[in-house]
Chains A and B, each alone.
Chain A
């Protein structure tokens, strides 16, 4: 490209570059018909979209840009018997939804990873892992945590069933541009502070609706130095701050992560892709609609105390007093949260016992997450008061990798359950649920009322903190555990 042209062009953000590269048609009112490069499909939100196509006699415009995998409904217990035969799914509605997906992908020619394939997993773990999700692409899925793929520098967001149908039929969506927000985190992260702690802290700062109407770009040394797994964790939870999508500029780490994956480009195509991806980072002088600066030194290992992801405190903190909030509506919400959570203001977070531990979900079920949890679990035992401690790898490939590293033995020896991949206890659509009134230290993304089962009480934490809670039986600062052996 001519250098002079590049220098005279208006500086653009990463978001603007990806948007501009996907405009099929720009209308007078500013809405654009946007081309969708990648469409991920799962069993829960797709049935009516497939049915609509069928009723209208339509087909998928680009099945080759579509990938389906079941995850939400699948039990995480064994899927085949000793003879290798697939085991039936007891829940009739779940079984029906899964069977519907199988029929739909067969009827419409959609590439499909089935429930017993080694590559099966949570859709947002599978996409990056397979090289289906690529930098600079537009990625959609009928699931709000599609924001996850922004960790690779892709514009990725969740859509509804009517939009799923629209993408299936046209490979486009009619969209209005979002505002842009830069969240810049600079400085050294303290010991024991993980990507999960960073994003929880960010949500605590800007609030659960702070990102509404925006696409967030995470910048600063903290994200540059973060692993790809960590970036996926951060971008995943953009939606918990209200932003439909998050973005982290692709760099050498991103390229190294993508290269060689089954669906990633190779040869000359790889070189072409690489050259374009390198043009994507935000230009110097580009303007964001809003900028939030955060000092990395302010971030501690943290967790949620309430029923909104914005209810964040450091693990060294206490349950807040509702009266301490300036906003009267927040005071009321906080009191309701505390009643639901069974917590009293002033209680030290570290004094709160847990009966359940869940390590998994599209937020924290990648190999790095399991390694971090295993580092804590190694040589320890799950505390007697913990009724269930689940480790649910994000995909069959993550599971296999963990087993090759011996992580499964560490977990099993410590008293954790080692499960098959799926959404599991994140959302209570499958048999993994937290019983009413019981408390879970969970690496998932939502602590909403009833999210992990009716009456369940959720504390969102990092994998290391979840493992630490499991072996101590209460919420605990992972930095204070005595070395084992």
Chain B
């Protein structure tokens, strides 16, 4: 995964509460053989509505999503995170996230930023016209209008995201340890 330090860009001011994983990616898209391409099914029910925010030219190329409480509630499908990746989203800002979605997002290099509702409301307003900046290292969200909000993040997850480490990446970082084990096995259990 690519390391995340600063995420800057336009944000989609969705703002809705309780966006569940069925809304993010409906079940009939789970038959796929890839993690790619799920963007076409992402937010399908919302996008079926004319003039919806996801297809608004104003937000074309946006890489941040701003939502309401309890984003990602519902099923455990990792396809939800894959779908956001496929839409080009690098971060979601919301007052709260479901635990499972939050973990899946983390595994897929998507930063989930938790801010108080008042801060989210201000960002929803700014996002209509201007870009937003997220600085993971300093744990801040800023706007061109001198807004500056700080957020909390688990130190372990921060470390992983800053260094672009997924679980596979972290274990790969222990390659020497694994090689050592393999050398020992080659001597002790050569039939394997």
In the complex, A21 Cα to B184 Cα: how many Å? 11
CB of B20 closer than 8 Å to a CB of A: no
Taking CB atoms, residues of chain B closer than 8 Å to A134 are 191-192
Shortest distance from the beta carbon of B108 to any chain A beta carbon, whole Å: 9
Taking CB atoms, residues of chain A closer than 8 Å to B171 are 33, 166, 169-170, 172, 174
CB–CB B191/A270 < 8 A: yes
CB of B172 closer than 8 Å to a CB of A: yes
Shortest distance from the beta carbon of A278 to any chain B beta carbon, whole Å: 14
**Minimal Cβ-Cβ distance residue in B for A24:** B181
CB of B46 closer than 8 Å to a CB of A: no
Given A51-B34, A100-B33, A269:B190 Cβ within 8 A: yes
- Encode B162-192 as 1/0 by CB contact (under 8 A) with A: 0000011101101101100110010001111
In the complex, A292 Cα to B107 Cα: how many Å? 39
CB–CB B189/A273 < 8 A: yes
CB–CB A269/B191 < 8 A: yes
CB–CB B178/A24 < 8 A: yes
Shortest distance from the beta carbon of A253 to any chain B beta carbon, whole Å: 19
Please name the 7 residue pairs, one residue from A and one from B, whose CB atoms are nearest each other, closest first. A265-B191, A47-B33, A269-B191, A273-B191, A170-B171, A24-B181, A169-B168
CB–CB A48/B31 < 8 A: no
CB–CB A58/B168 < 8 A: yes
CB of B35 closer than 8 Å to a CB of A: yes
- Encode B9-40 as 1/0 by CB contact (under 8 A) with A: 00000000000000000000001011110000
In the complex, A58 Cα to B185 Cα: how many Å? 24
**Minimal Cβ-Cβ distance residue in A for B104:** A162
Size category of the binding interface on chain B: 20 to 34
How many residues on chain A are close to B (CB under 8 Å)? 36
In the complex, A93 Cα to B33 Cα: how many Å? 9
CB of B121 closer than 8 Å to a CB of A: no
Taking CB atoms, residues of chain B closer than 8 Å to A56 are 1, 168-169
CB–CB A97/B33 < 8 A: yes
CB of A276 closer than 8 Å to a CB of B: yes
In the complex, A297 Cα to B178 Cα: how many Å? 48
Shortest distance from the beta carbon of A136 to any chain B beta carbon, whole Å: 8
CB–CB A25/B174 < 8 A: yes
- Encode A244-284 as 1/0 by CB contact (under 8 A) with B: 00000000000000000000010001101100100000000
Taking CB atoms, residues of chain B closer than 8 Å to A265 are 191
In the complex, A162 Cα to B167 Cα: how many Å? 9
CB of A310 closer than 8 Å to a CB of B: no
Q: Which residues 27-69 of B sit at the A interface, judged by CB distance below 8 A?
A: 31, 33-36
